[in-house]
Structure 1
């Protein structure tokens, strides 16, 4: 029997579920580039605004597979030239569902494309016993896909050939003579079975590498005879081939989907190829094994109108449609974000998804500034979704396609369903599309083509209302509900999210030698933890504070896997109080200098850690934070880099020290022989430091700026103070400030040390000891 108390409890729980606040995540990109996927998180309210987007989950449409980029050889070549830490951070930011934008689809070629290293198939010598993957796959495409899959195991991958092996080609079906060319030609019907088995071998070869192929098309752009690698395959021939391909997949136990066509809305203006997909579907063998694998059609937009999808959907309402390729380039001002951002969102997302497209992909993920590498005869004028500077393989320029795919991926997770939505309050410049995600959250991509900012709200079935700003000429993704972000804790301090997804920043009071608990470092081997600020303890996953007591700003980037810190203090004063910064030309998170030729910028500077009064340290790894072939960095007194230590403003005896090589490796520039005054440089070109070895730069200002000294030592060494002389930048011994020989802490030879400070020692049994001297 239900009592009054029971009824009251049920009523209270029901009301609480309706009234509780839900998380609201907002991502904003503006056409002027001032906001680039800027991230804010807040809690929902109950008050709607006059301009309100009402979502209607009961009005459901197609289930989404995802959004993504083409992972060509060229894209992978450029990615593989990046420093591994940079590449991992970039891919994590792009593909991770929890620490990035959740991009979930990729398109690759079967054999070569016009963005390969050369023209090839996977079986250039006649006979399938000669089938083998090319180095484009084994050295570039497969390693990159494995990295992405490690970040996002749910990534869907579709594949398409640009050409079959040349030995399978004939000039035409009416003239069945051999056709020894990568360009054009037709597939010899005598090889339909063989070519179907070629596809089977391809899918199995990638599966063996741990890479599942979700879908294929029989031919990229089957009506294009002119690409540098191409094969003419009109609907009659494609249907005849798929009558062999689908059974071959079924008999091999392959569940890979098959989409037909993969070409333009206007069928390249070929009269008898109009309605290509419909004619293709009608020509399929209704009784063949694997018929259920043939699911729909794929589309490009290099010709015709997207309204062609309306015609196809009306004739084949039970078939899927996906959008698989478009490009930006010199012809459409592809690097001009103000010209492309809103237009590309309209064309790629609103126009296709609102016409039942389950997936949207753009062409090259990444090209260099010269629009390559690519092949003669391929596109020489295309840009990537991201362009990378080939002079440093670090500097990235994000184009409209990157932002459009990222915004759509944030709104619609794989398995999301497009739902209805309606806007009240009159805003003709606003366009939108909405989704309900499998986790119960709601996502919408909303754009404002007008010249004024708009305050908006959005809600679905509950009383939870998301309120947000839609800037002029911008795209905004709003996600309402779903799993709330876990707070990051450092000791008892909660570190808050910043404007970058997966990034957190907070101010923490730290005390030297304190052990702090934390909840964000999952695999410490993958993280760059500022080694002068924190020591990670494997035993309890705590962080030991290394610098002197004070207030510090802590930055955590879960995508880049970095934990950085900087003192909250003023610039360095004449008496040696304040902060010291280290910087070189160019840089990224955790880097002093790695990329030659780039500009020294304040945002690339990092505060040194004051490990004891007047002693500042910065530890770097060769090959990660310091390029052994281009050493060039300095120490700065101000965070805007307007003043630095130099041979003229500090003590004349400024030591750059290596205990094993004396002063032969590092030097301190004096503005001569191309070495900037005050910059550390490499003295001997034929001496190489071990990749990954750790070195610490030390600045001693205990006696003020005028008596400062600078030296570099191995990270596991400490100066003993026993030697009353030192070598200056010219390698000559000078009397004066004792710096001394160094001992390796791994050998625990610290008994004679007379310097006060903090030293971390590991015994042979790996038990950590921290000693204060």
Structure 2
């Protein structure tokens, strides 16, 4: 095959490969071997750094391209010279089309995460945290933290279970899971990030005594009506949580109004931690209870981001229209959270364009994602599934191309079954832990998300692009980072290579040959 770029030097991939029964490999870390991941350093003028991961060969494989070599006459008519039957595309960057500012990328510190890390030797649990939060890793910038228990806890709990009708929450108290599993990891992440980490809190369920079904789990709503004592108590619960963590030296960047408020409505048989809120109930809860209670406690929108919805994209229009068309309710909200899960809507990405068009002053943020989530599926946690790496990358790019400002994975670490989960709601994860072997595995999804989080820091700005040619199976997103570098992420999901010419990314046209089933991040100083 014709060499399509000039390679100056490359790295090894810092990966000890192991194959299981999937279509790719994992990178293994144990007490004997756990190679560090190369940091992304500023790129010298006149060069492009290319980082590639692929189904068949690479993980963060870095090569450096010389712009002077790319400018040689040989390259100018290379597309015409190619005779191999590969896709040939031309991508043009539009530097004047600057859109949303990026908040960041990351995952969630859950009870399951903490338990899995506790089951490993300290050096390996520290390695996982470094893999996620240091520059020798994915350099996560946002972390979601459950407010109380979730289905990825080993038991069912909230912070105010013991005293029914404790409307002032005088008996509110953090649980052992916070003190042993979440808070230590959050502090470790903050240290690795030198404090530059956004924390987003989300609640699954209030205490059972606040709900119509008198149970933390299962379909139920808050008792009474917005403005009433139960709604007020639920709003105070958020403040109590923020204050309790602040006493631990942990401050939150934001909260969501309620994790998955539609589950108790759409799925009457839904059996784990949840709370139902209709669009109208959420509007009035924000307007009459949550917004004023947060404001009066010193958590106004100048101090705390408040993201509504925090649920699948199908219902984004109804919830955003109900809340944000109410001027008073909208004044307490800064962002719109959504989950990546599909619920039958054929082209649910277009809801993002619709919501942004209707409410451009409220940022969009993808707050939860995981693969292998289908209930009763036999394909939960999988070691080495490259297809899932592609579904992640496709979703991230499709979201970023529709004004999204950040994207969060779910549990940072799960066991090889996909848990623990009291609800047996096992899923896949970026890192899977086998405590019996004192080993953990970096799945292909780890690198897929890393192609964004590692190279697109907060305050990067999305820039538009145009693609000429048959772009099916090829996905592109481009940015200017805070260091004034151009950054592009390109994904090829096709079974054959794709040849690209990228224009206005640098001072010359850049020819790139994308392997089949590969993802690449390109970085160069801005012209």
TM-score interval, smaller chain:
0.7 to 0.9
Find the counterpart in structure 2 of residue 29 from structure 1.
53
Q: How far is 1:339 from its partner?
A: 2.5
Moved more, 132-141 or 315-324: 315-324
Q: Alpha-carbon deviation of 1:196?
A: 1.6
| Residue matched to 2:319 | 276
| Alignment deviations for residues 28-85 of structure 1 (CA, whole Å, 9 cap, x no partner) | 11123x2122233454435266465442221111111111112211012112222222
CA–CA distance in structure 2, aligned partners of residues 91 and 443 of structure 1: 25
1:122 aligns with 2:159: yes
Shift of 1:299: 3.4
Of 379, 387, 394, the match for 1:339: 387
Q: 1:214 — aligned with what?
A: 253
Q: Give 1:456 shift.
A: 4.5
The residue correspondences of 1:11-26 to structure 2 (distance < 5 A) are: 21-26=45-50
Secondary structure class of the residue paired with 2:126: helix
Structure with the higher fraction of residues in helix conformation: 2
Structure 2: how far apart are the matches of 1:311 and 1:332? 34
User: 1:461–1:434: structure 2 CA closer, same or farther, 3 Å change rule?
Assistant: closer
Aligned residue for 2:97?
59
Residue 302 (structure 1) aligned to one of 342, 358, 378: 342
User: 1:157 & 1:455 partners in 2: Cα distance?
Assistant: 40
> For residues 201 and 22 of structure 1, what CA distance do their matches in structure 2 show?
53
Question: Which of these residues, 290, 309, 327, is aligned with residue 261 of structure 1?
Answer: 309
Contact 1:31 1:342 (C-alpha < 8 Å) held by counterparts: no
The 1:452–1:295 alpha-carbon spacing in structure 2 relative to 1, beyond 3 Å, is closer
Give 1:132's aligned residue.
173
Distance 2:45 2:59 in 1: 27
Q: Which residue of 2 aligns with 1:149?
A: 190
Q: Which runs of 5+ in 2 are unaligned?
A: 1-43, 80-88, 265-269
Deviation at 1:354, TM superposition (A): 1.0
Residue 123 to residue 339, structure 1, CA distance change in 2 (3 Å)? same
SS at match of 2:437: coil
* CA distance in 2 between partners of 1:257 and 1:151 (Å): 23
CA distance in 1, matches of 2:50, 2:325: 45
Maintained 8 Å contact 1:258/1:295? yes
2:273 maps to which of 221, 229, 238: 229
Alpha-carbon distance in structure 1 between the residues aligned to 2:63 and 2:258: 43
Shift of 1:458: 4.3
The CA distance in 2 between the partners of 1:371 and 1:156, in whole Å, is 26
Is 2:386–2:444's contact at 8 Å kept on the other side of the alignment? Answer: no
Q: Does 1:385 align with 2:430?
A: yes
Q: Which residue of 2 aligns with 1:587?
A: none
Deviation at 1:375, TM superposition (A): 0.7
Cα 1:87–1:66 change in 2 (3 A) is: same
CA change 1:133–1:466 in 2 (3 A) is farther
Contact residue 74 and residue 115 of structure 1 kept, 8 A: yes
Q: How far has the Cα of 1:258 moved from its partner?
A: 1.0
The structure number with the bigger radius of gyration is 1
The corresponding residue for 2:222 is 187
Deviation at 1:397, TM superposition (A): 4.2
Aligned residues: 442
Given that 2:51 and 2:63 are in contact with CA atoms closer than 8 Å, whether structure 1 keeps it comes out as: yes
Following superposition, the deviation at residue 445 of structure 1 comes to 0.9
Q: Residue 275 of structure 1: SS of its match in structure 2?
A: helix
SS in structure 2 opposite 1:395?
strand
> Does structure 1 conserve the Cα–Cα contact (< 8 Å) formed by 2:111 and 2:181?
yes
Secondary structure of the 1:79 match is helix
Superposed CA RMSD in Å reads 2.6
1:373 aligns to 2:397 (yes or no): no
Distance 1:76 1:459, change over 3 A: farther
Provide the TM-score with structure 1 as the length reference.
0.54
Larger relative contact order (CA 8 Å, sep ≥ 6): 2
Aligned equivalents of 1:323, 1:437: Cα separation in 2: 20
Kept after mapping to 1: 8 A contact 2:51/2:60? yes
Alpha-carbon shift at residue 437 of structure 1 (Å): 0.6
Counterpart position of 2:292: 247
Give deviations 1:576-619, integer Å, cap 9, x for gaps.
xxxxxxxxxxxxxxxxxxxxxxxxxxxxxxxxxxxxxxxxxxxx
1:340–1:416 Cα change, 3 Å: same
Q: Which residue of 1 aligns with 2:238?
A: 199
Counterpart in the other structure of 2:363: 320
